[in-house]
Structure 1
């Protein structure tokens, strides 16, 4: 009887641990949630209070230099997503075409919601994700951000529960 009780307790604990994987993050006006299904990472990012000629972003990497970035911008009241890389602390070098697959993009009442997918690749291990808000578009280019990034250690491969269709 004790063995059955102990086995049930261990199984319950393992299920609970599996269900508590950190699959979302929020800081101020930016939030994200994600899943990994069939080696594809899908991320949905919501930025509140983003106005015209402003941007927000998520960067993958240990600090603000040498990141792969996904940038969500509103230019002339039209939302778009671009990707790129940073070398050092300057503006990113943008890709000729996005390195992610955009699944949805909505901008309404100063709230931008973007969902994108990419191969899990280098994000299959725990990585730092840097969330940035409060960036300005200056003369059509991505300017500096006005607030410090929110950095979170993310183990995306633990988020295998399907939350997106």
Structure 2
């Protein structure tokens, strides 16, 4: 009985220690941590070309997601924040809510480092929630087109445990 209790305890400790603080699938890689009172996200997409976008959305579905969108136009990267209200492009904030430490595009690779306030557009970003990673979508005549694949969801991301 004591050995079963010890095994359960070790499994529980292993589960806590394996907190999700990174994502990697297809072209997108990201890792994050709480640092200096903000959520720092290092983001890479190695299959993004000119006139395309890629994004991270916070929340369970397409309605009411807070989003960080990385837009590549004329080989320049623009980072915008906003909110979705359903299927379709987000309503962008007048001023980006994130602090961009670095964002560049070379060849087919976008690299960015952003700091997100812990209260991101009214959402406590430290709370456990679903994160959505959008691989890519087109920019047509300066407007965001529909993403080209289903977003990858990571459930129960608890950013407060990533330090």
Give the TM-score, by structure 1 length. Answer: 0.84
Shift of 1:38: 4.2
Aligned residues of 2:97 and 2:117 also touching (Cα < 8 A): no
Name the structure 1 match of 2:143.
Answer: 141
2:79 to 78, 81, 84: 81
Give the TM-score, by structure 2 length. Answer: 0.85
Count matched residues. 153
Name the structure 2 match of 1:6.
Answer: none
Distance (whole Å) between structure 1 residues aligned to residue 50 and residue 35 of structure 2: 34
The structure with the larger Rg is 1
- The alignment's C-alpha RMSD in Å is 2.2
Name the structure 2 match of 1:5.
Answer: none
Shift of 1:19: 4.1
Alignment of 1:113-132 (within 5 A): 113-121=111-119, 122-132=124-134
2:152 is the counterpart of 1:158? no
Q: 1:30-82 CA deviation, whole Å, 9 max, x = no partner?
A: 11100012431111110111001000000111112211110011111211111
SS of residue matched to 2:130? strand
Runs of 4 or more above 6 Å deviation: none
Structure 2: state its 5+ residue gaps.
1-8
Higher strand share: 2
Shift of 1:20: 2.3
Structure 1: state its 5+ residue gaps.
1-9, 161-165
Alignment of 1:10-159 (within 5 A): 14=13, 19-121=17-119, 122-153=124-155, 154-159=157-162
